[in-house]
C-alpha cells in the first residue's frame, strides 16, 4: 500500500522510533516517577509538550507545500485557526447550562451580547463527529477555493505569498468582529470537557499529548507517502521546472491544488488538537506574524525533509517559552537573530547539518533525473 511505503525508509523509521521513545519516556516519567523527584514530568510540562507537537504537525503541513511544491504559504495560520475554531465551537456547546448565565444552548458570550437564537452555522457542533468533519472540511474547502483561483491563474512566487498573507489578515479582521458570532477579540474559552472527559484533569492532558503524538506520526507518514509517490515526483518537478513539467503534459495546477488542500487539512487537524490543550482560541491565531513564524520553524529545521520541520518547531517554541519567561522583551530579537544565523551559516537548516555530520541520512527524494523519469512514465 502506498501509505505504508515510507516505513521502508530508514529516516522514517528513525523519526517514528524517536517519537515513540519520547512519548513513552514522558508518559513513564509523568506516571511512575514521584512528583518530588527531579526526573518527574509535571502535568504542566505534558500539556506544554502536547502544544509543541501540535505545532510540529502544523510545520510538517507547511513543509509539504513549501519544501516540495515551492509554494511559500504565509496563510497556513488561517487553516490552523479554522480547525481550532471548529473544535472550540464543539467544546463551547458542551458547556451548556454550566456556563455563567446557565443558558442550555447559547454560549456565555452570546448571552452577554443579547443574542436570542443560536446562529445557523453553530448548528451540529453539539456532535463531536460533526465537529471533526468540519475540522477537515472548512480549511480544506477554503484552500480548494483559494488554490483553484490562484493556481488556475498561475499566480506564483512572492505574489502568491502576499495573497495568502492577505487571506489570513482578512480572516483575522473578520473574526475580531462580535457580530460574526465567534466571541470577538476574546475568542472561545472556558472549555470544560471533551467526549465526557474533564479537560482540566492531569489524565486528560496526558491523553491529549499522546493523541497529538499519534496524529503527528500519521501526518508525517501521509506526507512522506505523498512525496515518495508519483504525485511527489511531479510536485518536485513542478517546483524545479514548472514550464518543462507542463510541456510534458502534466496538469501542474491540479497537482498543486490537491497537495495544497491536503496541507490545509493537516493544519486544521493541528489546530483542533491545539485548542483543548491551551484552553482558548481567539483571532490572534490568524495573525500574519504567526504564519511567518511557522515559516521560520521550517527554515530552521530544514526544508523538504519533513522531520526538519518538526525539529524546528520544537526548538523554536521551546526557546520561545524560555525567553518569554526570562527575557520577554528579547524574544523577537532572538528569533530574528536565529533566522539570520541559520540563513547565513545553515542554509539547509538543522537537518542539512545532521546530514553533513552523517548522523541522519537525507530522506530519499526523486530529484535525480526527474525529467527522465517523468518522460518515461509519460511515454508509457
In a domain, 378, yes or no: no
Cβ-based neighbour number of residue 325 at 10 Å: 9
pTM above 0.75, yes or no: yes
Beta strands in the chain (DSSP E): 188-189, 193-194, 197-198, 280-281
In a domain, 177, yes or no: yes
In a domain, 379, yes or no: no
Query: Domain range for residue 265?
Result: 2-373
Handedness of CA 201, 126, 54, 280 (dihedral sign): negative
Q: Which pLDDT value is given to residue 362?
A: 59
Instruction: Using the CB atoms, write b or e for 76-114: b if 16+ within 10 Å.
Output: bbbbbbbbbbbbbbbbbbbbeeebeeebeebbbbbbeee
Q: Which pLDDT value is given to residue 2?
A: 67
Q: Which pLDDT value is given to residue 364?
A: 52
* 62/65 Cα distance (integer angstroms): 6
Q: What is the pLDDT of residues 287-344, one digit of tens each?
A: 998 999 999 999 999 999 999 999 999 999 999 998 888 888 888 888 888 888 888 8
In a domain, 380, yes or no: no
Whether the Cβ atoms of residue 73 and residue 161 lie closer than 8 Å to each other: yes
Q: Which pLDDT value is given to residue 336?
A: 84
As for how many domains the chain has, the answer is: 1
Helix, strand, or coil (residue 126): coil
Query: What mean pLDDT is reported for the chain?
Result: 90
By CB neighbour count within 10 A (0-12 exposed, 13-18 middle, 19+ buried), where does 284 fall?
middle
User: What are the residue ranges in the chain where pLDDT is below 70?
Assistant: 1-2, 358-380
| Cα distance between the two ends of the chain | 22
Amino acid at each position: 500500500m502506498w501509505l505504508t511505503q515510507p516505513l521502508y525508509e530508514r529516516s522514517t523509521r528513525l523519526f517514528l522510533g524517536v517519537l515513540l521513545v519520547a512519548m513513552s519516556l514522558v508518559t513513564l516519567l509523568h506516571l511512575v516517577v514521584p512528583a518530588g523527584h527531579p526526573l518527574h514530568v509535571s502535568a504542566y510540562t505534558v500539556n506544554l509538550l502536547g502544544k509543541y507537537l501540535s505545532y510540529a504537525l502544523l510545520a510538517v503541513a507547511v513543509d509539504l507545500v513549501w519544501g516540495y511544491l515551492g509554494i511559500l504559504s504565509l496563510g497556513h495560520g488561517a487553516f490552523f485557526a479554522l480547525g481550532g475554531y471548529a473544535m472550540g465551537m464543539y467544546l463551547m456547546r458542551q458547556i451548556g447550562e454550566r456556563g455563567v448565565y446557565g443558558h442550555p444552548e447559547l454560549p456565555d458570550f452570546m448571552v452577554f451580547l443579547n443574542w436570542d437564537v443560536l446562529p445557523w452555522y453553530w448548528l451540529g457542533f453539539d456532535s463531536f463527529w460533526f465537529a471533526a468533519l468540519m475540522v477537515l472540511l472548512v480549511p480544506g474547502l477554503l484552500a480548494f477555493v483559494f488554490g483553484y483561483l490562484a493556481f488556475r491563474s498561475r499566480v506564483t512566487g512572492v505574489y502568491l505569498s502576499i495573497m495568502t498573507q492577505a487571506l489570513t489578515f482578512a480572516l483575522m479582521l473578520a473574526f475580531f468582529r462580535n457580530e460574526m458570532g465567534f466571541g470577538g477579540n476574546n475568542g472561545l474559552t472556558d472549555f470544560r470537557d471533551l467526549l465526557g472527559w474533564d479537560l482540566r484533569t492531569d489524565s486528560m492532558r496526558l491523553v491529549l499529548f499522546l493523541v497529538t503524538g499519534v496524529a503527528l506520526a500519521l501526518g508525517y507518514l501521509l506526507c512522506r507517502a505523498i512525496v515518495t509517490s508519483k504525485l511527489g515526483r511531479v510536485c518536485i518537478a513542478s517546483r524545479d521546472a514548472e514550464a518543462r513539467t507542463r510541456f510534458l503534459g502534466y496538469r501542474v495546477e491540479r497537482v498543486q491544488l490537491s497537495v495544497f488542500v491536503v496541507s490545509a487539512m493537516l493544519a486544521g487537524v493541528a489546530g483542533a488538537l491545539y485548542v483543548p490543550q491551551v484552553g482558548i482560541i481567539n483571532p490572534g491565531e490568524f495573525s500574519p506574524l504567526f504564519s511567518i513564524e511557522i515559516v521560520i520553524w521550517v527554515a530552521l529545521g530544514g526544508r523538504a525533509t519533513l522531520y526538519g520541520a518538526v525539529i524546528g518547531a520544537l526548538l523554536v517554541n521551546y526557546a520561545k517559552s524560555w525567553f518569554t519567561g526570562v527575557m520577554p522583551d528579547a524574544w523577537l530579537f532572538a528569533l530574528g537573530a536565529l533566522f539570520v544565523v541559520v540563513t547565513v551559516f545553515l542554509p539547509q537548516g538543522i537537518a542539512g547539518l545532521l546530514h553533513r555530520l552523517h548522523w541522519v541520512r537525507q530522506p530519499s527524494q526523486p530529484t535525480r533525473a526527474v525529467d527522465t523519469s517523468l518522460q518515461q512514465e509519460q511515454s508509457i
